[in-house]
Structure 1
């Protein structure tokens, strides 16, 4: 998809003689606003929570405005509201798939949220819970549909449909699926087969001074790289494939310059 000149300026970064410019990724507002959902817990405006080594940060679920937890108050025990990913959660958790919230459903979803650090854990099957269900379902056989080519080369498989990435080689998964955040609407991550042409562990954008840790560039400035904010926040990047800091660090150890990056699909609207 062609980008406007202004969009390209937004994505500009440090120019490197050996290859194209790198993409800067700036924080953005929540993509779930179109569904009428809001962050389930209060956030500090304009600031991402500090990252403590070895201490995973909870993933912030989006909930109906009436169920958002106010500052200083405890989260309710169980939501009575049917979320947009109710059926997916029911199916994965072995519940009756009727698409209607029940007390039993809520308790099961709440336990799932607590196990996967989703907060507030109220049992509302919102977009973060849905994304986590997709990730868990993909763990057994991420390439079951055969979209990513089976090759003797190391291949980073980037599935925009499910917002997942894994690495495979010789028909074997060598890096398990993880959640990604791809390009926002009008700045979608380009699809196709590419090769990693530049790796920079501590890359910094020269336009916005945006940190792009563990950057692995694969197409005209688009890169796999880590982000400090919650991977589920915002409508997306300016084209890059974002990963959590932990996942970006881990995949940095797996991939090398010249490895294949294969991207397909289209990011869902919600």
Structure 2
């Protein structure tokens, strides 16, 4: 009886170890990490030893040492600042436009305000912060904003939405070869480029949040000097279609209201003379790149 009991115990112990290993493997393989409580794939953890706690005996509570169990708090550096971020990369609103206008007064933003917080705005904010001994995060917190308000005046309507031509953005890498309509959402410009050289440029306007202009690499599918939208029934002179119903075209509304309005997804141009000359140069099949 004694020998039989010893054998039975050995068999049960081996089965228990096999079940634990199988359960861990299933968690790692399941969707989203399987069981959800493990912090790392099981394949990187040591295999259970014969001294591993059984399912019937609760494991001891983890200690505060670095070698604590999987429930131990992960060590992470304490945050350096609890300042609330007011504006950051990716934001698009009128406060960002005011930020850009104020930065421009101090020569930290060298183009017309667009209302979009991109890499150019972040670089300007970072430069302003460094000069004032503030953490150069590139994002605007309350301290940065108040310091900027104290050093600038309230922007005029012309400073917020100037009629001058926007400064070109650095061309996207996809624009450097061949014949390309290189369109930047950040600087709100269109550059007609041939083999990396800018032939002409102009201000542009894009779709609203509800009808956004698609980003990516396209080609001019067809052109129409005179065209009326079959959906919105509005004129689209000098239309160059590149993505379904989206096209580069002249907009009388853009010419009259500027950035107070938006398109239904097309790339609007307000300088009719420039676009007319561009229309004559662009061929069906030429590349179109729309980027931030």
Q: Output the TM-score relative to the length of structure 1.
A: 0.50
CA separation of 1:225 and 1:124: change in aligned 2, threshold 3 A? closer
**Structure 1 gap ranges (5+):** 1-33, 37-61, 63-81, 110-122, 266-270
Considering Cα pairs closer than 8 Å and 6+ residues apart, tell me whether 1 or 2 has the greater RCO.
1
Check conservation: 2:161, 2:259, Cα contact below 8 A: no
Q: Does 1:186 align with 2:210?
A: yes
Residues 204 and 212 of structure 1 are in contact (CA less than 8 Å); yes or no, is this contact kept in structure 2? Answer: yes
Offset, 1:217:
0.3
Structure with higher Rg: it is 2
Residue 103 of structure 2: aligned partner: 87
1:243 to 269, 283, 290: 269
Matches within 5 A, 1:56-75: none
1:201 aligns with 2:234: no
Task: Please show how residues 1-270 of structure 1 align to structure 2 within 5 Å.
Answer: 35=94, 85-91=101-107, 92=110, 100-101=151-152, 123-124=156-157, 126-129=159-162, 132=164, 135-136=166-167, 138=168, 142-143=169-170, 146-151=172-177, 153-175=178-200, 177-231=201-255, 232-244=258-270, 245-265=272-292
Shift of 1:235: 4.1
Name structure 2 gaps, 5 residues minimum.
1-92, 112-127, 129-147
Bigger fraction of residues in strand: 1
1:197 Cα deviation (Å)? 1.0
- Please report the RMSD computed on the Cα atoms of aligned residues, expressed in angstroms: 3.1
SS at match of 1:203: coil
Q: Distance in 2 between matches of 1:124 and 1:206?
A: 35
Bigger fraction of residues in helix: 2
Residue 90 to residue 253, structure 1, CA distance change in 2 (3 Å): farther
Which residue of 2 is the match for residue 43 of structure 1? none
Shift of the alpha carbon at 1:254?
2.5
Q: Contact 2:207/2:262 (CA < 8 Å) preserved in 1?
A: yes
